[in-house]
Each structure stands twice: as structure tokens, then as C-alpha cells.
Structure 1
Amino acid sequence: MTLSRTDTLRSAWAKRPEFTPLGLSLVTAIFVFAVHNATFWRIGSDVFAGHMLSFAGFIAAVFCLALAVQSVFSFPYMVKPFLAFVLILGAVTSFYMDQLGVIIDRDMIQNVMVTTVTESKHLITAGFVTHVGLTGILPALALFAIRIKRQSLLRTLALPAVCFALTLALCAGFLMADLKSYAAVFRERKDLMSSFQPFAPMVGAIRYARMISATTDVTVQPIGEDAHRGPSYEGSRKPVLTIVVAGETARAQNFGLNGYERDTTPMLAGRDVINFANVSSCGTATAVSLPCMFSRFTRQEYSYEKGVSHQNVLDVLDHAGLHVEWWDNNTGDKGLARRLKSRSFTNTQNAEFCASGECMDGIFMRALESFADTITEDTVLVLHQIGSHGPTYYLRYPEEFERFKPACRTAEFKECTAAEITNAYDNTIAYTDAVLARTIDLLDQKSNLNTALIYVSDHGESLGESGLYLHGSPYFMAPAYQTTVPMVLWMSEGFKTQFGLDGACLSQQADVALSHDNLFHSLLGMLDISTRERDPALDIFAPCHRSQRVAQK
């Protein structure tokens, strides 16, 4: 008797592999360890170099811990969906970990949650899709083709609990065998467990959820309600316009003003600017650095909870009676301008600056020219740039600014050489140089205003050094490329005169170690805003007011 094709398929389907839930969890754990953890293996081999027995014990402990977590979900109707989630998540996170050196911790998950489709789409490349398809989606589909072996109710309920207890005990036993060494590894090499996929990202997601849930009903605490303008504002005078430029992903090492081998900042070099060459960021990603740099908290004090529950320096300036606005060409103000007037340029229809669907920072200029002509009151304007945001550096500048060639013109870094990636990035810095210089020229021409500009980037960028790309590394392990940022100050003569600021005195601080901690207090000091919130020790302008220096003499 000849079987029909349908019968043949049914017969084959009936003979498909059969596993118990725990067996399926074990096979999946082995697959995840072998396929999704290349960086974990590489870092571990380096940490335990010459001590392979200790490394084997460490791997056994981590494997038992992973199996313990999976055993919690090793019940017939839960095991496949959970393991499929593990496989796909592991495929996603391992791509960014292995290809770009990006650690998916709580702060990185926060970045993902507050990003936009426009920004994130550049990270969905052909390489990413292929990797996730082959190492995540296909194994997950194969998982659903496997039959779950029937067991008695007692075994179904008892075995996962026994496995959980046993694997946790084994994990503890392996660690106790060389506790002194392992404790040192956990303490000094946090990057090892941070690279373990996909369970480190799971922990990060739990921490992020806890952080958000703790602030759902937060009440914003006012600060600086005592703020008022000082004597510099008395008498007949011109309105003041201060522009604060929040840069994006500009690292100090590639700024020509800081001695970089390439002249990436020729236009700023031709202006009378003060360049601060030793400035550290508060974080390594916008979601942390941006709110932190405008807050009154230092990097050591700052937390997401403190940031969202307190007003910031822009609110203090508003309390003092200044008109404050936020203009955005990035992923938003992160809540900083919630109580202020704001304007988004991100989705502007403009053929010259927004042809790719994202706008280059030149989009600010025409609006700024019109805005400056209407100012009749003391004003602070924040420009939040898209700057040098990667991985599509080539979209951040016009074609005529492609000075360093050949430049990488794809988000797939593996298709570019290290020199091409650096060329594209340096072109973004050169364009930022031009935008800042043009803004300074505009301010310098406004004889009816006393004007100033201060520029500082939110964080830096890795361009392949030590296998790291982009930004967002945990601060404890972030290279200086991600934490050292450029900061530039320009003031008109009228501004210096009104506020009694000594440019030569400020220039003496050009090489002093500064950080985002200084911005809150320095903006208040620069603009002569009196409030108990200002800490003179963190105000770089405090020793450079001529009136104060005369009084001290």
C-alpha cells in the first residue's frame, strides 16, 4: 500500500524529536552558551588566562545558574514560549555585544526605550537580520517542532523545583571551590558577567522596570525658586541672548582645538573662543548624560530618580525671569523642557538639511536668524544637536563637508575599514565646527544684543578601539573616548562687559579638569543669577568676575 504525501508528512511529524521540558531547557542552555556568548568566552579566557581549571569551575557555576533560571519556566505550556524568547533575545543582544562591544545593561535599555524609530532604524542592518534569523528565529521555530514528552503530574510539578534547587546548590558549590578568586573577578571585572547573553540584559530589563515603577507617581521638586538676576542687569542695557549647544556624540580626542592630528575645527580656531580641553561627561549615553548635565547633582550623586523628581538649571533660569527655550534636533529633551517652551526640528520637511528623513544641524540656522531678530528680553536658548550620532555618520553632514575620504557610508561597520569609519566621524566634527562658527558669527553681528555661546557634548564615541564601537558602555569600564567631551565658550565684548567677565582669567582654566558637574553652576554664574543652589566651587566663572576680584583685593 502506497502512502499519500499527506500521510507521509503526518508520519514524519509524529516521529519528530521528543524532549522533557527540562531536557529542552538543557539543550537550549547549551546552544545559548555556545552560540550567543562569543564575547563572554573571550573576556573569560582573558580573565582566567593560565588558570583554566578555575575558568572551568566558573563556567560550570554560570551554566548552572542559567539552567536554574530556565527551570522555573520548565513546565509543558511555558517552556517553549520562554525558551523561544531566550533564543531570540540572545540573538539580538549577542549581535550588538559581539559586533559593536555594546553592553545591554539598565542604562542601555533606558536608551532603547526613549529612542525614536528614526534613530533606531539604522541599527537594523542586513547583518543584524541575518544573525537574528539564523541564531534566534530558526532555532526558536525548531523548538516549536519538538514534542514535549508526557509525564505524570507529580513529575511535571516536582522536577523543575528539584532542578532549580539542585542547580543553585551546584552553582554555589562551584563558586565556593575557589571563592577568593571568583569574588575578585566579580569585583574587578564586571564586564565579564555584563557580557553574558541573554541573562545580563534580562537583569538590566528588570532593573529598568523597577526604576520606572519607582518614579511613576513622582512629584517634581522645585529648586532655585529664590533665583533672581544680579546687579549686571541693572540700568539701561541691551537684552542678553545666551545659546547653550548640547552636542551629541562628539569626543574630545577628535577635536582639532584639542591637538588632534587632523584640523577638524578650523573655523572655531579662527574665532575668539576658549576651548576647555579636559572635560568629563556624566554618562556615556544621552538618556543619562543629558538630564545629568543640566541637573544640580554631580555624577556621583545623580540617578534617574533624582533627575525626574527635581527641576533643573533651565527651570532656575526661568525662575530668575529669563526667557528659556529648548530647540531639538535629536531624540527629545528627556523631560528637561517639560515646563518650558520647546520646538522640534527632527521631522522638518526641508530638502537641503533633511533629505534623508533626519535633519542635519544646519536646520537650526534659518530659524535662529529669525529668532534673534525678535528678541526683546533676556533669553537662554538651548540647541540640542544630532551632532555625530552613529552609526550613520555620513548622514550627519552635507556632501561638501566630506573632507576626509574615503568615508564609511553604511551602518554596517564590518563593510568599512577603520580609516573609513574615522573619516566619516571626523567629517561630522568638521560640520559641527562649521555650525558652531556660523552661530557665533550670527551672534557677533547682533549689535543690539549682548551674546554668548557655550557648547558641550553629552558624551563621546568609540570608533573601534579595543573592539568597541558607538557609546553607552557602563561608566566603570567605558574608555576615555566615551567620557571625554569637548567644551567651547564664546562671549561678545558686550557680554563680557555687562557681566564683568575676564576672558584671560577664563583662558587659564582651559586645561583644568572639568566635568558636566560644572555646567549647572557655571551657567548661573555666567549669567549672574543669585540663588542658594549655585555652588561657587563648581562655577568656572566665579573667580573671573572683575567686580569680585576687585572686591577681594
Structure 2
Amino acid sequence: MTRLEQFRTRLNQLRGAIALSPLMLTVLTIAFVLVADNGTFWSIGTQIFSGHLLSFAGYMLAVFFLTLALFSLFAFPWTVKPFLIFIVLLSAVTSYYVDALGVIIDRDMIQNVMVTTMAESRHLITVGFAAHVLIYGVLPALVVACVQLEPRGPVRTAVMPVLTCVVSLALAAGLMMADLKSYASILRERKDFMSSYQPGAPLVGAIRYARMVSRSTKIDVASIGTDAHKGPAYDHPAKPMLTIVVAGETARAQNFSLNGYGVDTNPELEKLPIINFTNAHSCGTATAVSLPCMFSKYTRDDYSYEKGISTENVLDVLAHAGLNVAWWDNNTGDKGNARRIDMRSFTNEQDPRFCDAGECIDGVFLDALKAYADSITEDTVLVLHQMGSHGPTYYLRYPPEFARFAPACNTAEFKSCTPEEITNAYDNTIAYTDHILAQTINLLNAHDRLATSLIYMSDHGESLGESGLYLHGSPYFMAPEQQTHVPMVLWMSDAYKDRFGIDETCVADQKDKLLSHDNLFHSLLGMLDIQTAEHKPDLDIFAGCKLKTQVAANE
């Protein structure tokens, strides 16, 4: 007998020794996943139920039986193994990010994953991730595949899954009713608890995402601001106008020295006549949500994915008014913002100074921007979507000469780095963003033949280990301030202020005012003197800051 034949014989013997019914295999798999892939879930539960062991046990049994009720519907001989293998692999993948980085896998996170690029996602596939998935996913999946299913008669095969579902639901309900008041309070107050349950949270998130997408497959985009027209500032322009809107990436306000941070991350902007808004906040905690929201007419409370993709944004309104509008992208795409305007991607540029392995740092914009500004002959708005501080590979977001804060974390494996190293690497990205913004402002200021301005606002912030959280994408209801408090900076040339009649002192008086992405749509319209019924002065930071001559002209 050959070695291959011996292996097959032993494998068949092993399979014969491990013969289980589909329902028993389902029960054991759920138990494994509950124990092996739910470190965060157990940790939060232990904290919540501290000193109430019996109540904790009842709750966990209820979760077990509820999961069994749902999974038992797949406990047929022809479906049980593929389904359980999928569950084991899914739980291994999601549990790594939940337990290692504090990420919550909800609908918005799944949306973010679905629109990401290979260049971005590959940084999340680390040695630690691969080892975790191998141990907790691949090997258990092989065990499930090798289990031999006990033969059952057709009636029992058809009835048992349904009966198990009904009985399990009854047991789960009974256990919850035993202490309903306490359990209901926990579910209401501690949404992070069930949000960390694997594989329940990602499955629910996937279903919600699929429903959201299915509702928007046949949506027609509604035009807005078709009445938009240029105000008096365009009647007798001495110079063409160029406004650059910089959509930052993953920059948090807490790490801007402009906002009082103890590390000098903004040495170049501090020397420029900018207005730094210290109290600005994001619409979401991930690019897929925040980027379309910040350019939409909807406030955070009113915004939804369906509304965002079915309604034109402020860039369309500016185009309706006759401005030349363009989008340059060095990230994972425009998220629908630039569908109706000129768009250029910089992610695949071949410039060896700034680009490596399918990604570019933001310095790639500068030479192109200089040439673009030299060629402008009409009033123009240009959006620059940065790569910024996108993690976890912060060390890839800046050139070697900007590794100012050391030692820095030079890996995507945060567990291999100290908190200081992670923060140093992130601070280096902020310092590089400071450099890019300052260089852009200097470039604009040098163009005497243009009336120029720049407004910068990040899409969301970032967690650097506070409360065990890393990266971003937490559900907004539980997101820490580090993920929602974002930097916002404004610069205007003298020619720009003169042409648009802007009282810079008045605008600067609002630097500590509570602002958010809600203000961007209306402030761009006010700043650029674009008149439309879509404009809401109460959300426009320039509304009360036009000089008397400009106000009179508008009247």
C-alpha cells in the first residue's frame, strides 16, 4: 500500500469515527465560534454582568439558542457543511479586526469594505491576520469538511431543522423573559455589546447593506440648484478665480498643533495667514459615508445613502452656475461626488518620487497643480481628495525625510508596536499633510494673475488605541471624539477677499464655533457668491461676513 493510499485509509477511518448529525455539527460549530471568536463580546459581557453570573449565563444561553434557531434552517445534509464552513471563515476574519483593532462590523463598515481598492485592503492582510484566520478559520473549516454526516430518513431530515428552530426560539425567548427588564436595558444602553458578537453582527450588517443597495438600484438622480447663478462678484472680475477644496483623509483634530496638540505637527501652516477652525465635526466615521455626505445638501441627521446617490451635490450646483469644476483623486475614488464633473485619478501615477507599489503620497499633486494653475483662464473650483493619514500603514503616507517623530511604527501589525510608535507614525502623516497644504497655499499665493483660496476639511478622524480602538469606522452613536472631531482650515488671498468682499476678521471670529460637514455645502456657495434657493445662510459661515460694498451689490 502506497503512502497516499495509507493516508486516504486513515482519513476515511477518521471520518467514520467522527460521524455527527447535521444538527449536532451545527451546535458544536456555534459553540466553537462563540468561545473562540468572541473575545471582545465576552469581555464587554463580563464587564456589564459583573457580579451577576447567573444573569450572564442566562443571556449567553439566549444568544446561543437564538443563533441555533437561525442556523438550524441550514442544517440539511446538502447545505450544512458549506454554510458552517462559511460561518467559521467569516467569524475568523471579522473577529481578528474586532478583537485586535476594536472595529465594529456593521452596515457602514461593510459599505466601506465594498468600495475599497485592492491597494488599500492589502495593507490589512498581515502575518498576524493570516495566522489568526488559519488557526481559527481554515483548520476548523477542514474539520467541518471531514466530518461524516450520519444518515437520516427523509422525514427526520426535513422535520428536525424546523423543529429545532421553533424550540430554540422558544428557549431563547424564555431565557430573555426571565430577566427582561435588565436585558432590555442592556440592549438599549450598551449597543456595543451585540455589535461585537460574531458572526451575528457582520451577518446583520451584510443583510442591511444588501437591502440598502437593492433599494437604490433604479434611482434617478434629482437635479438641485438648477437656478444657481453667479453673483455680483463675477460682474467685473479683474482676475480668474481658483478655489481648491482639499478633502482630507483620516486626519483628527486632536493631533493638529494648531489646536493645541503638544507635538509640533503644523510648523508650516502656523507661519501662514490661515483661519483654523477648532471645533469641526464629521458626518460619519468612514470615507464611504463621510465623503458623499460632506458635499451633499443634507445634514448628518437627514443624510442617508439613498438620498446621497439620488441627489446632486454642491459640485453640481457650482457647475450649474457656470463654474469650471474638477476632482483630483489620490484615494479610493470620489464615492459618487464627481460623476458629472471632470475627474482625474492620481493613484496609478508612475512618479518615483511619490508613488510606490500602486499607491502615491499626496506630493504627487503638486507639479500637476502648478501646471493646472498656470493654464487657468476661467473661474474654477478644484477638489483634491487626499490619501492623507490612511491607516494602518501610516509609515507609507509620508516620504523618509518626514519621519520626524521617532521611533515610528513601520508595520501594519499594531501589536508589534508600542502606543508611542503608532502615534509617532500618525503624527508624521499629519506633519506631511501640513507640508502639502502649506505648499499648495504658497503656490496659490504666488499666482498674481489669479484670485485664489483654499479650504481644507478632513472626512473623519482616527483612533490610535484609545479605549482599545484603532483606525476608524465605529458606529456614530458610539464613535469616540477622535473619529469625529476633524481639522478645518481656510486661506484666502488678498485678491480673493477683495473680489468676493469677505471680511476675514468676521470669519475668524467663528474659529471656535461648533461646525460640521453640514456647513460645507452652504459655505462654499456663500464663499463663491453663488446664488440659489438651495443656499441656507444659517449654515454658511460667510453669510454675515460680506463687506458692505458686496452686500449692497448683492441687493
Provide the C-alpha distance between the structure 2 equivalents of 1:452 and 1:6, rounded to a whole number of angstroms: 72
CA shift in 2, pair 1:149/1:520, >3 Å:
same
Residue 532 of structure 2 is matched in structure 1 by 531
One-letter amino acid of the structure 1 residue matched with residue 533 of structure 2: R
One-letter amino acid of the structure 2 residue matched with residue 48 of structure 1: F
Residue 207 of structure 2 is matched in structure 1 by 206
1:356 deviation in Å?
Answer: 3.8
Contact 2:500 2:550 in 1 (8 A): no
Residue 296 of structure 1 is matched in structure 2 by 297
Q: TM-score, normalised by structure 2?
A: 0.97
Provide the C-alpha distance between the structure 1 equivalents of 2:154 and 2:9, rounded to a whole number of angstroms: 33
Residue 159 of structure 1 is matched in structure 2 by 160
Contact 1:356 1:395 in 2 (8 A): no
Provide the C-alpha distance between the structure 1 equivalents of 2:551 and 2:149, rounded to a whole number of angstroms: 84
CA shift in 2, pair 1:19/1:546, >3 Å:
same
1:357 deviation in Å?
Answer: 2.8
CA offsets, 1:315-357, max 9 Å, x none? Answer: 0000000000000000000111000001000011111000343
Are residues 1:282 and 2:283 paired? Answer: yes
Contact 1:264 1:427 in 2 (8 A): yes
Provide the C-alpha distance between the structure 1 equivalents of 2:351 and 2:386, rounded to a whole number of angstroms: 17
Residue 233 of structure 1 is matched in structure 2 by 234
Moved more, 137-146 or 289-298: 137-146
Unaligned 5+ segments in structure 2 are: none
1:185 deviation in Å?
Answer: 1.1
Residue 92 of structure 2 is matched in structure 1 by 91
CA shift in 2, pair 1:386/1:7, >3 Å:
closer
Contact 1:105 1:201 in 2 (8 A): yes
Residue 439 of structure 2 is matched in structure 1 by 438
1:169 deviation in Å?
Answer: 0.7
CA RMSD of aligned residues (A): 1.6
One-letter amino acid of the structure 2 residue matched with residue 438 of structure 1: Q
Moved more, 488-497 or 230-239: 230-239
Q: Secondary structure at the match of 1:543?
A: coil
Residue 28 of structure 2 is matched in structure 1 by 27
CA offsets, 1:229-258, max 9 Å, x none? Answer: 101111142100000000000000000100
Contact 1:543 1:549 in 2 (8 A): no
Contact 1:243 1:381 in 2 (8 A): yes
Residue 191 of structure 1 is matched in structure 2 by 192
Contact 1:221 1:309 in 2 (8 A): yes
Provide the C-alpha distance between the structure 2 equivalents of 1:7 and 1:413, rounded to a whole number of angstroms: 42
Are residues 1:505 and 2:509 paired? Answer: no
Are residues 1:423 and 2:424 paired? Answer: yes
Residue 488 of structure 1 is matched in structure 2 by 489
Residue 412 of structure 2 is matched in structure 1 by 411
One-letter amino acid of the structure 2 residue matched with residue 313 of structure 1: V
Provide the C-alpha distance between the structure 2 equivalents of 1:102 and 1:84, rounded to a whole number of angstroms: 23
* 1:230-379 equivalent positions in 2, closer than 5 A: 230-379=231-380
One-letter amino acid of the structure 2 residue matched with residue 263 of structure 1: D
Provide the C-alpha distance between the structure 1 equivalents of 2:345 and 2:396, rounded to a whole number of angstroms: 19
1:187 deviation in Å?
Answer: 1.0
Unaligned 5+ segments in structure 1 are: none
Contact 1:16 1:145 in 2 (8 A): no
Moved more, 73-82 or 48-57: 48-57
Residue 392 of structure 1 is matched in structure 2 by 393
Are residues 1:145 and 2:146 paired? Answer: yes
CA shift in 2, pair 1:138/1:354, >3 Å:
same
Residue 179 of structure 1 is matched in structure 2 by 180
CA shift in 2, pair 1:14/1:167, >3 Å:
closer
Are residues 1:469 and 2:470 paired? Answer: yes
Provide the C-alpha distance between the structure 1 equivalents of 2:69 and 2:519, rounded to a whole number of angstroms: 47
Contact 2:240 2:378 in 1 (8 A): yes
Provide the C-alpha distance between the structure 2 equivalents of 1:8 and 1:320, rounded to a whole number of angstroms: 77
Q: How many residues align?
A: 552
One-letter amino acid of the structure 2 residue matched with residue 447 of structure 1: D
Q: Secondary structure at the match of 1:486?
A: strand
1:60 deviation in Å?
Answer: 1.0
CA shift in 2, pair 1:423/1:235, >3 Å:
same
Provide the C-alpha distance between the structure 1 equivalents of 2:425 and 2:6, rounded to a whole number of angstroms: 57
Q: TM-score, normalised by structure 1?
A: 0.98
Contact 2:501 2:550 in 1 (8 A): no
Provide the C-alpha distance between the structure 2 equivalents of 1:164 and 1:412, rounded to a whole number of angstroms: 41
Q: Secondary structure at the match of 1:382?
A: strand
Provide the C-alpha distance between the structure 2 equivalents of 1:8 and 1:529, rounded to a whole number of angstroms: 79
Contact 1:252 1:485 in 2 (8 A): yes
Q: Secondary structure at the match of 2:355?
A: coil
